[in-house]
Amino acid sequence: MHKNTHITTKVFTGVAVSGLLLTQAFAAENYTPPRTDWGVPDLQGIWNYENRTSLERPDLYEGALEIDEATMLAKMVSTPDYIAALEATGAEAPGPDNVGGYNGFWITPGNALASMNGMYRTSLIVQPADGKIPWREEAAAVRRQQRYELPMGRAESDGPEGRTLSDRCLVSFASTAPFMSSLYNNNMQIVQSPTHVMLLAEMVHNARIVRIDQDFRDLPYEQWLGDSIGYYEGDTLVVETRNFHPWQVGKERLTSTSMKLTERFYRVEDGKLHYSFTIDDPELYTEPWTTEFPMYSGESLYEYACHEGNYSMRAILAGARTEEVNPSSAPQ
């Protein structure tokens, strides 16, 4: 029953999110969030979660979780320089083997580190305290085995099934379960009803339907983005997700088939949410780990067409067939 799951979640996150709870307490003293007609916190709207904070804490911040603006500007690579470096190794890289990449025009990763309570975060991870993923020693072997069992990656151009899920426009190449800032399109929409919540990511229009106050289902199939249930703790929406599709798990570097994802959404201002997620995955990690960062009101959500018709796929497979007939045609 999910009520027992809630108890377990509270136990393993009780220490891990102490900083998060302090943030919630601070917000509760200064802001009363709006509520829906049925009495739960109103989180609906379009939210932007772009920021330049990395998942793990870089060594240049010397272990500090929070820094001031002057320190950020002195140590963080500016966004224009960051985009220029991406162009130099991607869209504008020299040499005949370069098949393109993203021009800087499209890249919107954010201009600053994630801001929480007037300070800037040097890592999304807040627990463990060192801001690092607590990998098990055998985690790399587990990930290699999971990837080896996938149809994609071993014979990637034998047919469309060999290409990645993002190549096939099935699941975003960016992380949308949980949400983490990527190169662009860092927008999502929350829609609430008394019995369900929808979390819609702009990137490849990934949508999760969260069933409120219900149990996980025993389905005869796996879903993209897993099976999600939710409940409210005061002003916070808590979403728990399990049973991710193994093909999706294989593409992620952070998850295994035993992953339990717990996300929390709560309003701290009219135009601002605080978001956190905890990953509990004993196959890969020595302990659960937790992140937190803000989301801000966004202007709009656009359709992500993901090259409808998939002309790129046809060209990739045609090139592979041509190379098989005439190996000398391959780039040298």
- Residue 292 token pair: 């937190």
Yes or no: say if 249 and 259 are a contact pair by the CB < 8 Å rule: yes
Beginning with the edge strand found earlier in the chain, give each strand of the sheet holding 119-121 in spatial order: 66-67, 119-121, 115-116
7-33 core/surface letters (b: 16 or more CB in 10 A; e: else): eebeebbeebbebbeebbeebeeeeeb
pLDDT > 70: what percent of the chain? 85
- pLDDT of 251 reads 65
Rounded Cα distance between 170 and 19, Å, is 36
* Torsion over CA: 285, 288, 289, 294 (sign): positive
Q: Tell whether the model's pLDDT for residue 224 goes beyond 50.
A: yes
Average pLDDT of span 24-47: 85
Q: Which residue has the higher pLDDT, 324 or 26?
A: 324
Is residue 127's pLDDT more than 60?
yes
Q: What percent of the chain has pLDDT over 90?
A: 52
In a domain, 89, yes or no: no
Domain membership of residue 193 (yes or no) is yes
Q: Which residue has the tokens 């996938």?
A: 150
Residue 60 lies in a domain: no
The verdict on residue 183 lying in a domain is: yes
Average pLDDT, stretch 229-244? 96
How many Cβ atoms from other residues are within 10 Å of residue 98's Cβ?
12
Per the structure, the count of domains in the chain is 1
Give CA–CA dist 5/278, Å, rounded.
14
Confidence of residue 5 (pLDDT cuts 50, 70, 90): very low
pLDDT in tens, 99-114: 667 788 888 999 999 9
pLDDT of 261 > 50? The answer is yes
Range of the domain at 41: 2-51+142-322
Residue 154: what pLDDT? Answer: 63
Does residue 144 have a pLDDT over 90? no
What pLDDT, on a 0 to 100 scale, did the predictor assign at position 307?
Answer: 67
Q: How far apart are CA 165 and CA 114, in angstroms?
A: 29
Judge whether 103 lies within some domain.
no
Query: Residue 94: inside a domain, yes or no?
Result: no
Predicted TM-score of the model (pTM) = 0.85
Q: What are phi and psi of 176, to 5 degrees?
A: -125, 0
Average pLDDT estimate for 41-59? 97
263 and 231 Cβ atoms separated by less than 8 Å: no
Would you say residue 80 has pLDDT above 50? yes
Q: Which residue has the tokens 């793990």?
A: 56
> Does the pLDDT of residue 50 top 80, yes or no?
yes
The mean per-residue pLDDT over the stretch 209-221 comes to 94
Residue 69, in any domain of the structure = no
Question: CATH no. for residue 175?
Answer: 2.40.128.20
Residue 309 has pLDDT above 70, yes or no: no
Say if residue 147 is exposed, middle or buried (CB neighbours under 10 Å; 0-12, 13-18, 19+): middle
The CB density around residue 230, as the number of other CB atoms within 10 Å, is 22
Residue 9 pLDDT: 36
Confidence band for 262, pLDDT divided at 50, 70 and 90: very high
Residue 94 has pLDDT above 80, yes or no: no
- Within a domain: 109: no
Confidence of residue 241 (pLDDT cuts 50, 70, 90): very high
Considering the chain, what is the average pLDDT of its residues?
85
Region 266-290: mean pLDDT is 95
Q: What is the pLDDT of residues 292-303, one digit of tens each?
A: 999 999 988 988
Considering 10-19, 29-38, 52-61, 151-160, the range whose residues carry the highest mean pLDDT is 52-61
Three-class SS string for the chain?
Answer: CHHHHHHHHHHHHCCCCHHHHHHHHHHHHHCCCCECCCCCECCCEEEECCCCCCCCCCHHHCCCCEECHHHHHHHCCCHHHHHHHHHHHCCCCCCCCCCCCCCHHHCCCCCCCCEECCEEECCCEEECCCCCCCECCCHHHHHHHHHHCCCCCCCCCCCHHHCCCCCCCCCCCCCECCECCCCCCCEEEEEECCCEEEEEECHHHCEEEEEECCCCCCCCCCECCCEEEEEEECCEEEEEEECECHHHHHHCCCCCCCCEEEEEEEEEECCEEEEEEEEECCCCECCCEEEEEEEEECCCCCCCCCCCCCHHHHHHHHHHHHHHHCHHHCCC
Confidence of residue 20 (pLDDT cuts 50, 70, 90): low
